Amino acid sequence: MPFRTIPRDAWDHLLEGNQRFATDTSVHPHSGSSRREELRTGQAPFAAVLACSDSRVPVEMLFDAGLGDLFVVRTAGGCVDAAVTGSLEFAVTTLGVSLIVVLSHEECGAIGAAVSSFEEGDLPSDLTRVFVEKIAPSVIRAKRDGHEERSAIEEIHAAETAEHLVHRIPPVQARIADGSLGVVAARYRLEDGRVTSVEEHFAG
């Protein structure tokens, strides 16, 4: 994979795929039987993506990526726990991805629930409380900085999560420093199918 050691090229490659998706010109790479056969012996994705579980955010489709191209971790609201952290560390140290993308999205229900809980001062009593509590710091940061719009809160949540990964996973921090890994916080718009960068962590 030509993007393995060049993180910015990996990000550019994903954006090119998203451009095709958003303009209905997807080429659906690496989707045939020969690719399936090739992957029987192992995987070598060039990027990892942490995204929301929302059914409207099909990660491989919106980047026009194929089988074996992306290592995808999905949770409600793109929330991080030990399993998510361990999965992304595995992607970096074992699979050798050159990019991690933290992808939030327009009209995220989990973020909406966190915003409502913050504004009403009432945490859910069921298991949705788990992700509401994890998203709360992003809501607090947004409110502190004077942002009330959902779009801004979604962007800030992506940035907060990316910063969390950079500072809490030692191999991520080390590989950003040596230039072999990049971390990008981004947001996907349901409205037009576009992914836009919110915050980028690249060497230099």
Q: How far is CA 170 from CA 126, 134, 152, in A?
A: 33, 21, 28
Q: How confident is the model at residue 128 (pLDDT cuts 50, 70, 90)?
A: confident
Task: Summarize pLDDT for 171-195 with one digit per residue, the tens.
Answer: 999 999 999 999 999 999 999 999 9
Whether the predicted pLDDT of 158 surpasses 90: yes
Statement: 7-107+166-201 belongs to CATH 3.40.1050.10: yes
When comparing pLDDT for 115 and 127, which is higher?
A: 115
By C-alpha distance, which of 19, 21, 87, 4 is closest to 49? 87
Tell me whether residue 178 is annotated as binding: no
Tell me whether residue 52 is annotated as binding: yes
Tell me whether residue 54 is annotated as binding: yes
Whether the predicted pLDDT of 3 surpasses 80: no
Tell me whether residue 28 is annotated as binding: no
Stretch 92-103: mean pLDDT: 97
**pTM of the predicted model as reported, rounded to 2 decimal places:** 0.94
How is the chain split into domains, by residue range?
Answer: 7-107+166-201
% of the chain with per-residue pLDDT over 70: 98
Q: State the average pLDDT for the chain.
A: 94
